[in-house]
A and B are shown apart, each in its own frame.
Chain A
Amino acid sequence: MLNALAQLGRVGIGMLERLGRGHLLLLGILRGLPDLLPRPGLLIKQIYSVGVLSILIISVSGLFVGMVLGLQGYYILSQFGAEQTLGVMVAASLVRELGPVVAALLFAGRAGSALTAEIGLMKATEQLSGLEMMAVDPIRRVLTPRFFAGFISMPLLAALFSALGVLGGYFVGVGLLGVDDGAFWAQMQAKIDLYEDVFNGVIKSVVFGLVCSWIALFQGFDALPTSEGVSRATTRTVVHSSLAVLGLDFILTALMFGD
């Protein structure tokens, strides 16, 4: 009985410790920003590996999600004779929800897991210790550029996702199913608000970018320096990021659109 209680306590303390280490790491990463600004080359290299290499999966998924939304939306809306609002439906669901959320999930799978594996392997092969031996702070030199690369890339990727999704919905709705071209765009423009819809979506994607890159870097940095530890950390990155994105999405949606 007491043993079980002690076990539970150990798990709780361990969780709190991890949480504390995570926040200290975030603080350390943010403190590295002044060092990063004079050396944009580091950042650009990371934006390449985090953002540019994710473009393909993001744009293909965005296009297909938009096309599916077009098909499904048309099926439902045509029952009410409201096919012309297809544009509103596609754009609103993409800009408000699917763009930021699905892009963040893909980002966690594509870029987050790669970040974790990279940092974890650096730790396992003692490259981080090597940097420290040379009096280079590994957090500032290695983690900060990666963090800000994710932070910058995520909103851009989400915007790409939404824009291509709208185009996909347009191809299916107008091209395939014969919704009126003018009504599609006009209804969309009349109902989608720049601040209420588009900006709130951007805020969401900024938050998700921060959370995803933070989780990925922390898991890599906190991984056990063995091959098993790295593989576990990579799995945890994807699971935790996805859960965090979905949970935060609910909170943000309730705050933004809840009234």
Chain B
Amino acid sequence: MIQNRTIEILVGAFMAAGLVAFFFLAMQVSNLSASNNGEGYEVTARFDNIGSLKVRSPVTMAGVRIGRVSEIGFDRATYEALVKMRIEGQYNVIPEDSFAKIFTAGLLGEQYIGLDPGGSEKYLQAGSEISLTQSALVLEEIIGQFLFSKAEEGGTLEKAND
């Protein structure tokens, strides 16, 4: 039989190791350090098409993540997508006329919102709306347009040849 004290020490070490492992998972593996939920302020933007944007997709400015998409809705009156994003409180000097675009990270990557700063003296606040937006690029639409313009080109060429 091992001494009582040794057992206590070993159990203590075990529990400490388990807690360290959990701490490691929380801090090093997951995004705890980067996510401070509930802080910051919410702004809205309307898009014609949000592609595959999802709740919790990043909102970036100059490539730096400054917030996340918090809610995606649909406006039944205007048939637009209503995107709410929560921007972290420290970024409180974003001009009101900033331009919100939906980008894709890489060829197959996730979609995110990129903000281009405008020149206004007024800044975005809780509840304000970004009016300048650009929809997501849907690959099929682009290919469709490309084919369409190609066909048109071909048509004009034929006419020129006539």
Residues of A bordering B, CB below 8 Å: 41, 44-45, 47-48, 51-52, 55, 91, 95, 152-153, 155-157, 159-160, 162-164, 166, 185, 188-194, 197-198, 202
Q: Interface code B29-70, partner A: CB below 8 Å = 1, 0 otherwise? A: 111111100000000000000000000100000000000000
**B29, A47: Cβ atoms closer than 8 Å:** no
Among the listed B8, B10, B24, B35, which residue makes an inter-chain contact with A163, where contact means beta carbons less than 8 Å apart? Answer: B24
Bound complex: CA A175 to CA B116 (Å)? 39
**A47, B14: Cβ atoms closer than 8 Å:** yes
**B10, A192: Cβ atoms closer than 8 Å:** no
Asked if B28 lies at the interface with its beta carbon under 8 angstroms from chain A, I say yes
Give chain B interface residues in 1-44, CB to chain A under 8 Å: 4, 7-8, 10-11, 13-15, 17-22, 24-26, 28-35
**B25, A44: Cβ atoms closer than 8 Å:** no
- A195–chain B nearest beta-carbon distance, Å: 9
**B30, A52: Cβ atoms closer than 8 Å:** no
Bound complex: CA A159 to CA B25 (Å)? 8
Residues of chain B contacted by A188 (CB below 8 angstroms) = 29
**B30, A156: Cβ atoms closer than 8 Å:** no
**A192, B19: Cβ atoms closer than 8 Å:** no
Q: Given the known inter-chain contacts A156-B18, A157-B18, please indicate yes or no for A162 contacting B25, CB distance below 8 A.
A: yes
> How many inter-chain residue pairs (CB < 8 Å) link A and B?
88
Residues of chain B contacted by A162 (CB below 8 angstroms) = 21, 25, 29
- Having A45-B7, A52-B10, A193-B56, one finds 20 other A-B pairs with CB under 8 Å, namely A44-B8, A52-B11, A152-B15, A153-B14, A155-B18, A156-B19, A156-B22, A159-B21, A159-B25, A162-B25, A189-B28, A190-B34, A191-B31, A192-B31, A193-B30, A194-B31, A194-B32, A194-B35, A197-B30, A202-B22
**B15, A192: Cβ atoms closer than 8 Å:** no
Describe B's contact surface by its main secondary structure. helix
Residues of B bordering A, CB below 8 Å: 4, 7-8, 10-11, 13-15, 17-22, 24-26, 28-35, 56
Bound complex: CA A166 to CA B7 (Å)? 29
- B77–chain A nearest beta-carbon distance, Å: 28
Q: Given the known inter-chain contacts A48-B10, A52-B10, A156-B15, please indicate yes or no for A198 contacting B29, CB distance below 8 A.
A: yes
Among the listed B7, B13, B28, B56, which residue makes an inter-chain contact with A185, where contact means beta carbons less than 8 Å apart? Answer: B28
Residues of chain B contacted by A191 (CB below 8 angstroms) = 31
**B17, A48: Cβ atoms closer than 8 Å:** no
Residues of chain A contacted by B31 (CB below 8 angstroms) = 189-194
**B19, A198: Cβ atoms closer than 8 Å:** no
- A100–chain B nearest beta-carbon distance, Å: 12
